[in-house]
Amino acid sequence: MSSWTLKSLPPHDWFICLDIQSYFDHEHDPEKMFEEGFTRPVPVGDRDVIVTVFFNGDPEAPEFHIESSESLEKNEIGIANKHLAKILGTEMDLRPLYDKAANDPVLGDKLTDLYGLKRMTRANLFEDIINRIVEMQMNHKPTAKKMTFKIREAYGSALVHNGKPLPAWPRPFQLMKADPANIRKLGPTLRKGQYLVGLANDIVAGNVDIEHLENCDPQTCYEELTSIKGVGPTSGQDLLMMRGRTDAVFPSNRKSGEEKGLRRWIIHSYGADPHNTSEDQFQELIRNWKGFEASALEFLYVNWILTEKEKRAKSK
């Protein structure tokens, strides 16, 4: 058994994430994580190990206690921490955003209400893309999560936690061998299966570099993401939010004269007309976000999720 501590840059209040179902996968029950921790497989070199993460509950001195039933070498813990840093957002420094956007007419009060929020992602962008392609155009997200879990069962490494299967996410070399028709049997459309297998083959062939996508500038990342079959403009912007970074871009995406995607939502949040806002006007709206576009939008997203939950609770 191995255990260690992973520190995070403050402020960081991971408990806020427990209210956001989209951050978690089919096997997760956020209501139990306060006591039982957050458990998931993490790629460590050529193998996958299951880790359980516990948060210390201190936004100003945030630490995560990590446990694994396997004995890990120091270098393996270092590899695990690289993925955990992305998953948990421990290396994102949002302190400049709190200073820059404190008086922002839309973002300011969200920074206060959701103090310490950092977006959760998955272990690497390949996992995020798999998840995004499967859930694309599906309104019932629990069903999409179950489909993704079935893909993991079929093509990822078989792992067990507390007597129950907890499959790892498939690596590209595992998924490239899949028949899209067999992925179709797991729930996703045949076209989605083709997208997933095609991406896996492109990664193995060196045509798509996941590490490069995670670390390049946002505009380059967006352009390269949207060149991947199955990743359109809206998905490309969504995936920019999942790099474990603070920055992003929101390129205009007009169809029949109407703005689409995240840019439309941002403009609407500021009370402007999404379909008649120039690039200069848009940049002025988000001038307090510069360098923190991904993190800033996450505050708006989480605020919306929590507001909708509150509305539903009051209507019952």
Write phi, then psi, for 64 (nearest 5 degrees).
-120, 130
Contact, 149 vs 167, CB < 8 A? yes
286 domain residue, yes or no: no
> Is residue 129 domain-resident?
yes
Among the three residues 225, 243, 261, which one is the final residue of a domain in this structure? 243
Domain that includes residue 57, residue range: 2-113
Total domains in the chain come to 2
Same domain, 216 and 132: yes
Residue 93 shares a structural domain with residue 155: no
Same domain, 184 and 132: yes
pLDDT at position 261, please? Answer: 86
Domain end (from 92, 113, 134)? 113
Confirm whether 281 is domain-assigned: no
The answer to whether residues 174 and 92 belong to one domain is no
Rounded Cα gap, residues 277 and 266, in angstroms: 11
Establish if 62 belongs to a structural domain. Answer: yes
> What does the block give as tokens for 162?
């507390």
Overall pTM surpassing 0.85 (yes/no): yes
Q: How far apart are the first and last CA of the chain?
A: 46
Look up the CATH number of the domain holding residue 141: 1.10.340.30
Domain contains 252: no
Distance CA 212, CA 226 (A): 15
Of 243, 258, 274, which marks where a domain is finished? Answer: 243
Q: Is position 268 within any domain?
A: no
Q: Are residues 99 and 130 in the same domain?
A: no
Q: Is 213 helix (H, G, I), strand (E, B) or coil?
A: helix
What's the confidence (pLDDT) of residue 313?
84
In a domain, 72, yes or no: yes
* Confidence (pLDDT) at 140: 92
**Do 165 and 64 share a domain, yes or no?**
no
In CATH, what number is assigned to the domain containing residue 81? Answer: 3.30.310.20
Provide the 3-class DSSP secondary structure of residue 297.
helix
Residue 292 to residues 120, 127, 212, 244: CA-CA distances in angstroms?
15, 23, 20, 11
The per-residue pLDDT for 315 is 79
Q: From the first residue on, what is the mean pLDDT of each consecutive set of 10 residues in the chain (316 residues)?
A: 97 97 96 96 96 98 97 96 98 97 96 98 98 94 97 97 96 97 98 98 98 97 97 94 96 88 92 94 96 97 93 81
Answer yes or no: do 129 and 239 share one domain: yes
Residue 61: per-residue pLDDT: 98
Same domain membership, residue 92 and residue 153: no
